[in-house]
Structure 1
Amino acid sequence: MKLEDMDFTDVRVDLEHADEIMSRFGLVRAGQWDYERVTYDRKFEIQHHTFYLRVQGYAAEGDIGGRHALIQFMTPLLGKHYYPHGVEYGEEENFPSTLVDQCKRILSQIHSELQSVQAS
């Protein structure tokens, strides 16, 4: 599900700041990047189900592999994992309201911190 009311498309941040801020809130980049795109995920396990909060972005300038990139963020997603098929982000998925609220609180804090270091 797209978290439309938590839109990050107004934020552009240097990759180093993005990595630092996301990791403080438990969102991990790990190997989920290429030279143009970056993905941060946080895993939630609730009542025998696995959910992922995902924040994606792309290199508006530079490249991610070179560690010198200006990241343009996209609208965050919340998905549910189905073994062995993967994560589904569709609107028809059922997400616990407590999880949605928790994700919105986390994203609000992240958005605020990203804006404070936003590139001009």
Structure 2
Amino acid sequence: MKFAYKFSNLLGTVYHKGNLVFTADDNRLLSPVGNRVTAFDLKQNKSQTLPFEAHKSFDVIALSPNGIILLGVTEDGEALLISLISKSILHRHRFNRKVLDIKFSPDGK
């Protein structure tokens, strides 16, 4: 079964909140783990914690339709625009309140 994965200790921290995002081809799963994001390759059964980190834990993440841009918002409202090609933060933006959900439009704009 495709969804029979258990999250436990991932590089010293435990998954405890945040949404999960599948890539368009359903081969990878992106998960916030504390102030980092981990990518799970479901075909090759491998995982990689991406090299950037936020100041606080991520609450929500969203992936652009083309799979190139990841947007993550932390528990204190800091948004990070992240390139999955270079695996680096492109921009930071601070919201004045807690963000409950984020999503790209279907055309990615």
Q: TM-score, normalised by structure 2?
A: 0.31
By relative contact order (CA 8 Å, sep 6+), the higher-ranking structure is 1
